[in-house]
Amino acid sequence: MKKVLVFSPHPDDLDFGCSGTAAKWVKEGREVVYCILSGGCRGSHNLKVSERELRKIREEEQKKAAQVVGVKKVIFLREKDGEIENNKRLRKKIAQVIRGIRPEIVVSFDPSNRKFDNFYRSHRDHRFGAEAVFDAIYPDAGSEAFFPEIAKKYPPHQIKELWFFASDQPNVYVDISQTIDKKTEALKQHQSQIKDFETTRELVRGWAKEMGKKSKVKYAEGFRKIQF
Ligand SMILES: [Zn+2]
C-alpha cells in the first residue's frame, strides 16, 4: 500500500481539498500523514484571542478533523500565518518531513493556480506554500546534494506521485460517495473558522457533486496528478 503525505498551508485547507480521499485511502488500509505549514494563527476576526491561543485552538481542531478520517499523525511546522515564504529555511523543514515519512504519494495545494480569481485560493500562503512543497520534493528531498547536513538522519527520498488538490485543471477524480459524510464531519471540527456549518456542508456537497458529474459518480474530489 502506498504511503501518503498531505501538505496543507493552514489547518482546514486540506479538509476542504482532499479529506474525502484521505478517509477513503485510510479505509483501504493506507497510512496517511498530515503536515500543516502554518498554524493559521491570524485566521480570526475575533482579536480578543491571542495568536498563540488561536494557533493552539486551530491545531486541536485539525487533530480532531484528522481523527474523524482516521489519520493518526499530524505534523505542524508552525510558520507564521500570512508570512509563508518559499525560502531555503522552509524547504529544508519540508524536505526533512518528506525524508522522515518517506511517502510514495504527496498531496498538496496546486501551485499552478495563478488566476487570482478567488481570494481564498489565491491567499499568499497557499501560493508560496504550494511552491515551497513542490521545490522541496524536487530537487531537494531526493538529492544528496541538498541539505547534506541532515542526510545521515534523513537520507534522500524520491516520491513517486504528486497529487494537487484545489486545482484549476483536475485530471484525476476520486469517488468519495462513501466518505463524503466523513469529509463534512472533519470540516465541522474547524469551529473557529466555520460560522455556519449547514451552509458550509451544502457548499462542500455541491462542489463534490460537480466533480462527481465529471467522473459519473455521486460525489468526487478532483486532483491534478503528476508522476516521476
Ligand atoms: Zn488556507
| Residue 129, pLDDT score | 98
Write out the residues surrounding ion ligand 1, Cβ under 5 A: 9-10, 13
Domain that holds residue 164: 4-227
- For the stretch 25-38, pLDDT in tens is 999 999 999 999 99
- Using the Cα atoms of residue 161, residue 162, residue 166 and residue 169 in order, give the sign of their dihedral: negative
| Residue 44, pLDDT score | 67
Confidence of residue 201 (pLDDT cuts 50, 70, 90): very high
User: What distance in angstroms lies between residue 26's CA and the mean position of ligand 1's atoms?
Assistant: 23
How much of the chain, in percent, has pLDDT values that exceed 70?
A: 98
User: What distance in angstroms lies between residue 2's CA and the mean position of ligand 1's atoms?
Assistant: 26
pLDDT of residue 54 exceeding 70: yes
User: What distance in angstroms lies between residue 14's CA and the mean position of ligand 1's atoms?
Assistant: 9
CATH of the domain at 24: 3.40.50.10320
Mean pLDDT of 1-22: 96
Looking at every residue in the chain, the average pLDDT score rounds to 95
User: What distance in angstroms lies between residue 125's CA and the mean position of ligand 1's atoms?
Assistant: 7
- For the stretch 180-199, pLDDT in tens is 999 999 999 999 998 899 99
User: What distance in angstroms lies between residue 88's CA and the mean position of ligand 1's atoms?
Assistant: 21
Distance from first CA to last CA of the chain, Å, rounded? 18
The count of structural domains within the chain is 1
Question: What residues are paired with 75 via a beta bridge?
Answer: 35
pLDDT of residue 3 exceeding 70: yes
Mean pLDDT of 144-154: 97
C-beta separation of 21 from 11 below 8 A: no
pLDDT of residue 46 exceeding 80: no
Q: Measure the CA dihedral 97/143/111/169, to 10°.
A: -110
Confidence of residue 47 (pLDDT cuts 50, 70, 90): low
Measured between alpha carbons, how far is residue 85 from residues 32, 76, 128, 224 in Å? 26, 16, 6, 23
